[in-house]
Amino acid sequence: IYLDAKLFARVKALYEKRAKLPAGSEEARLLEVTYERFVNAGAQLEEADKAKLKSINEQLSTLGTEFSQKLTQATKDGALVVDSKAELAGLTDSEIETAAKQATERKLEGKFVLPLINTTQQPMLAKLTNRETRRKLYEASIIRTSRGDKNDTRAIIVKMAELRADKAALLGYPEYASYAMFDRMLKKPADAIGFMENL
């Protein structure tokens, strides 16, 4: 949609007459935002560059889907399997029973499974008192997509970073972060980092 030349021509024609709209009106702001989004998405590029951008966008979309699928499967496959209740010290009886049920569902009778919950932390780490179990669960979490198996996402991440850099350059930005921040309160990555550091 953003690369549709006829649609952008109409938006641009309206944008060039925006002075006729009441200053500060919702209509004026909507027109401004719409125009900026078209421009930022590549509406002003030459046709050859639009074709390159479309190809980059398609590749990023495909890689994004592939990344999500691998992450989902790696999260499932990366669950921690332990052999005894002693390794689950600190968990409630109900949580241990759930871990046993998880193992049974995976055809691991007599064992216990702690599934990985999200990418940054595992809630069970706060409860487990067995240091070795905590270490195993933490490591299972952080290496889930970097084991060198079919769910390894490192090559995808590298390719996505390269494509994002190409996209940013095509659209006239120094790097992808600046492109992504075009409509944010802070427009430059350095400003955002400075803001967070000051906070």
pLDDT at 94: 97
Residues in the chain: 199
Residue pLDDT, tens place only, 172-182: 999 999 999 98
Residue pLDDT, tens place only, 52-108: 999 999 999 999 999 999 999 999 999 999 999 999 999 999 999 999 999 999 999
Q: Which residues neighbour 88 within 8 Å (Cβ) at sequence distance 6 or greater?
A: 82, 95, 96, 99, 112, 114, 128, 130, 133
154-170 and 47-77 helices cross at what angle (nearest 10)? 160
Evaluate whether 141 touches 119 at the Cβ level (below 8 Å).
yes
Report the predicted TM-score, pTM, of the whole model to 2 decimal places.
0.83
Taking all residues of the chain, what is their mean pLDDT, rounded to a whole number? 95
Evaluate whether 61 touches 106 at the Cβ level (below 8 Å).
no
CA dist 189 and 187 (Å) reads: 7
Strand, helix or coil at 65? helix
